[in-house]
């Protein structure tokens, strides 16, 4: 892109995180530093974003929410703490930092023994502050327990065949003999929103276990246990009086190992994670009057085209031009303009090293990319900077 006027352009940097490398805020700041270094006085504002996955709480904090620290039980039973974002009306609670894969020891997945109890504990802690709305960010879960752990923390009692109460995990769902809903916390007057971009049902070949279980370390034998356990959980909750069977087939029920389904049983409505967080963080107000939007994520691929954050940003920003800066671009150039993305800069095209595992290298490359973009916005140099992004 080259400027047609000498007026300093107004730029909004609104990226997602680079997973495993940099937070959205770090991505935005590195790009902004490069732009300002090349063009002192340039009008740049940053808006770190999220799509309902890990980083959602941090994005809310960056937009002015306050941090609440909550003690919880981690996915495999260890004591842990999490951070919840709260602005006095809306709270954001995420699976990733309460029952997420990132909380497990490296190389030690726990597909059968992990629980979502910490997620429920965080929700319960927030309820004490009387929020009007709780956003459930459903990305990055370590467990496939159908939300049974979350429900336990919220007062649902699961009992085995001997009548003993226990907190189920994915591997023990099949041992639930009875469910008591009488102790469920009062959720009256609280709007629950499940922020999620997954459309999978709870069961079957496209369900929570079959599709996402292998990513959580489940073997083929584990998958059978998980699928049977989820089926048993549906039956037990249906017997207890909840519309469990109907909800199991709703798109999004399979999100976060079945937490999407359990959230719906609690009355949550599903929302597109990317669109919802753009609304929550005031994207439309921020983009007004801008001449260019820079967005991005760790990897641009076919999933991006299905509604992940960079494409949603491009659609919402139109007709403002949009540049994507990504860790790696797995798409061809011809597929991007139709989705509103004018140009892509990929860090992987700038180095032979693996920047995805090197935060310092990623930050340095982003600063360099910011400088390159600034040069292309300057009429005198627009023909000298190569279009090397794609």
Q: How confident is the model at residue 4 (pLDDT cuts 50, 70, 90)?
A: very low
Residue 20 has pLDDT above 50, yes or no: yes
Name the percent of the chain lying above pLDDT 70. 94
Whole-number average pLDDT of the chain: 92
Q: How confident is the model at residue 73 (pLDDT cuts 50, 70, 90)?
A: very high
What are the tokens at 204?
């079957």
54 touches 96 (CB < 8 A): yes
Q: What angle do CA 278, 347, 295 make, to 5 degrees?
A: 15
83-136 pLDDT, tens per residue? 999 999 999 999 999 999 999 999 999 999 999 999 999 999 999 999 999 999
Residue 1 has pLDDT above 60, yes or no: no
Q: What angle do CA 215, 221, 226 make, to 5 degrees?
A: 65
Helices H / strands E in the chain, number of each: 13, 16
Q: How confident is the model at residue 54 (pLDDT cuts 50, 70, 90)?
A: confident
pLDDT for the residue numbered 307:
75
278-297 pLDDT, tens per residue? 999 999 999 999 999 999 99
* DSSP notation for 194-236: EE------SSSTTSIIIIITGGGT--HHHHHHHHHHHHHHHHH
Q: What is the mean pLDDT of residues 1-12?
A: 66
Residue 378 has pLDDT above 80, yes or no: no
Residue 383 has pLDDT above 70, yes or no: no
Kindly report the number of other CB atoms within 10 A of residue 379's CB atom. Answer: 12
Q: How confident is the model at residue 386 (pLDDT cuts 50, 70, 90)?
A: very low
pLDDT for the residue numbered 389:
43
In the chain, the N- to C-terminal Cα span, in Å, equals 13
Q: How confident is the model at residue 334 (pLDDT cuts 50, 70, 90)?
A: low
Residue 161 has pLDDT above 90, yes or no: yes
Quote the CA–CA distance of 17 and 24 in Å, as a whole number. 4
Choice between 123 and 377, residue whose per-residue pLDDT is larger: 123
147 touches 162 (CB < 8 A): no
Choice between 65 and 3, residue whose per-residue pLDDT is larger: 65
Same fold, 10-49+287-381 and 56-273: no
Quote the CA–CA distance of 106 and 123 in Å, as a whole number. 27
Q: How confident is the model at residue 6 (pLDDT cuts 50, 70, 90)?
A: low
pLDDT for the residue numbered 388:
41
Identify which of 28, 12, 62 has the alpha carbon closest to the alpha carbon of residue 362. 28
- Side-chain-side CA neighbours of 165 within 13 Å: the count stands at 11
Query: Alpha-carbon torsion 25, 121, 86, 81, what sign?
Result: negative
Assigned architecture for domain 56-273: Alpha-Beta Complex (3.90)
303-321 pLDDT, tens per residue? 777 778 999 999 999 999 9
Residue 382 has pLDDT above 50, yes or no: no
List C-alpha distances in Å: 373 to 35, 334, 359.
7, 21, 21
243 touches 53 (CB < 8 A): no
Domain spans, the chain: 10-49+287-381, 56-273
Q: How confident is the model at residue 228 (pLDDT cuts 50, 70, 90)?
A: very high
pLDDT for the residue numbered 379:
58
Q: Rg of the chain over CA atoms, in angstroms?
A: 22
Choice between 142 and 386, residue whose per-residue pLDDT is larger: 142
List C-alpha distances in Å: 122 to 259, 309, 369.
14, 26, 39
What are the tokens at 256?
């976060």
List C-alpha distances in Å: 299 to 183, 201, 311.
44, 25, 12
Mapped onto helix, strand or coil, the DSSP state of residue 219 is coil
116 touches 141 (CB < 8 A): yes
Q: Which residues contact 90 (CB under 8 A, 6 or more apart)?
A: 65, 131, 132, 133, 134, 135, 280
Quote the CA–CA distance of 14 and 63 in Å, as a whole number. 12
Residue 10 has pLDDT above 90, yes or no: yes
Least confident of 153-162, 294-303, 346-355: 294-303
Task: Look up the CATH superfamily of 10-49+287-381.
Answer: Glycerate kinase; domain 1 (3.40.50.10350)
Task: Tell me the H-state helices in 112-163.
Answer: 117-127, 148-153
Mapped onto helix, strand or coil, the DSSP state of residue 23 is coil
pLDDT for the residue numbered 12:
98
pLDDT for the residue numbered 113:
98
């Amino acid at each position: 892109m080259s400027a047609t006027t000498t007026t300093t352009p107004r730029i909004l940097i609104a990226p997602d995180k680079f997973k495993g490398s940099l937070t959205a805020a770090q991505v935005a700041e590195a790009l902004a530093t490069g732009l300002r270094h090349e063009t002192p006085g340039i009008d740049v504002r940053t808006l770190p974003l999220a799509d309902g996955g890990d980083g959602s709480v941090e994005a809310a904090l960056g937009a002015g929410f306050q941090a609440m620290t909550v003690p919880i039980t981690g996915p495999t039973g260890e004591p842990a703490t999490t951070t919840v974002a709260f602005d006095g009306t809306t709270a954001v609670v995420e699976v990733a930092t309460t029952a997420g894969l990132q909380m497990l020891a490296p190389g030690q997945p726990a597909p059968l023994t992990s629980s979502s109890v910490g997620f429920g504990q965080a929700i319960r802690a927030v309820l004490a502050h009387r929020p009007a709305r709780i956003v459930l960010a459903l990305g990055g879960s370590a467990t496939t327990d159908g939300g049974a752990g979350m429900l336990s923390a919220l007062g649902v009692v699961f009992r085995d065949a001997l009548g003993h109460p226990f907190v189920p995990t994915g591997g023990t769902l099949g041992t639930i003999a009875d469910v008591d809903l009488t102790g469920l916390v009062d959720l009256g007057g609280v709007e629950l929103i499940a922020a999620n971009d997954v459309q999978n049902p709870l069961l079957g070949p496209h369900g929570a276990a079959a599709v996402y279980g292998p990513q959580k370390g489940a073997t083929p034998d584990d998958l059978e246990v998980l699928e049977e356990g989820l089926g048993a959980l549906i039956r037990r909750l249906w017997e207890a009086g909840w519309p469990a069977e109907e909800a199991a087939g709703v798109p999004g029920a399979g999100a976060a190992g079945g937490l999407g389904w359990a959230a719906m049983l609690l009355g949550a409505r599903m929302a597109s994670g990317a669109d919802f967080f753009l609304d929550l963080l005031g994207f439309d107000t921020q983009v007004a009057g801008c001449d260019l939007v820079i967005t991005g994520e760790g990897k641009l691929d076919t999933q991006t085209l299905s509604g992940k954050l960079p494409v949603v940003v491009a659609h919402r920003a139109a007709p403002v031009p949009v540049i994507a800066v990504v860790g790696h671009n797995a798409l061809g150039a011809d597929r991007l303009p139709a989705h509103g993305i004018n140009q892509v800069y990929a860090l992987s095209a700038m180095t032979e090293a693996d920047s995805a595992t090197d935060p310092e290298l990623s930050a340095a490359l982003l600063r360099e990319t910011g400088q390159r973009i600034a040069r292309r916005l300057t009429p005198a140099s627009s023909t000298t900077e190569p279009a090397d992004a794609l």
